[in-house]
Amino acid sequence: MNEGIPGDASTLIYIAKGDAFEPAHRCVPTILVPPSVWREAVAEGERIGATEVPRIRAAAELGWLRHVELSEHEEVLASTIARSDRLGSGESEVLALASRLGQALVDEGRAARVAGARGITVVSTLLLPVLGRRTGGLDEEEAIDLLRRLAVVIGPRAEVVYMIEQHLRLEES
């Protein structure tokens, strides 16, 4: 994860809505943002007046998000993924980047299944606190706080949040 991990628009929006870029940065130092994800999360967000856009821009200015261009090979791969797996351009670009890097932050079910089929490790935004605990970026209290912030905006089932919280309480950093 030295170079970073590509993330989809949902990831950026969830973290921004939870006002959680700072703790998320301690879980994943850099989220790579391909062009279509930036357009979806920021340009389209500005067009509709989404309140999370300034937080996304601020995270980019701090270097917690990094705009990346796709190589020619990755552009072709993204187009192939979009067409053959019926994914949006943002998810397709994230998976094209992840094909080289091995991991992706995605929350959409179809994109997660396609990633798994392509041998890409999928990390759900809701599991960022687990990564933070494992890498020592977050202590137990910080990880549980991040989990709860994200859960409020993502809206998972209560038992899922409870299970993750119990895991965080048992996790040794």
Domain ranges of the chain: 5-125, 127-170
Query: What does the pLDDT read at residue 170?
Result: 86
pLDDT of residue 167 exceeding 50, the answer is: yes
Query: What does the pLDDT read at residue 3?
Result: 81
Contacts of residue 143, defined as CB under 8 A and 6 or more positions apart, other chains included, come to: 129, 130, 132, 133, 168, 171
Each residue of 67-118: pLDDT tens digit? 999 999 999 999 999 999 999 999 999 999 999 999 999 999 999 999 999 9
pLDDT of residue 172 exceeding 80, the answer is: no
Contacts of residue 32, defined as CB under 8 A and 6 or more positions apart, other chains included, come to: 3, 4, 5, 6, 7, 65, 66, 68, 97, 101
Residue 1 banded pLDDT, cuts 50, 70, 90 = very low
Each residue of 152-164: pLDDT tens digit? 999 999 999 999 9
Q: Residue 152's Cα: distance from chain center in Å?
A: 16
Residue 173 banded pLDDT, cuts 50, 70, 90 = low
Q: Residue 40's Cα: distance from chain center in Å?
A: 14
Query: What does the pLDDT read at residue 2?
Result: 59
Which range among 1-15, 63-77, 125-139 shows the weakest confidence by mean pLDDT?
1-15
Overall CATH class of domain 5-125: alpha beta
Each residue of 13-25: pLDDT tens digit? 999 999 999 999 9
Residue 134 banded pLDDT, cuts 50, 70, 90 = very high
Name which residue leads in pLDDT, 171 or 66: 66
Each residue of 30-66: pLDDT tens digit? 999 999 999 999 999 999 999 999 999 999 999 999 9
What is the C-alpha separation between 90 and 75, in angstroms, rounded? 11
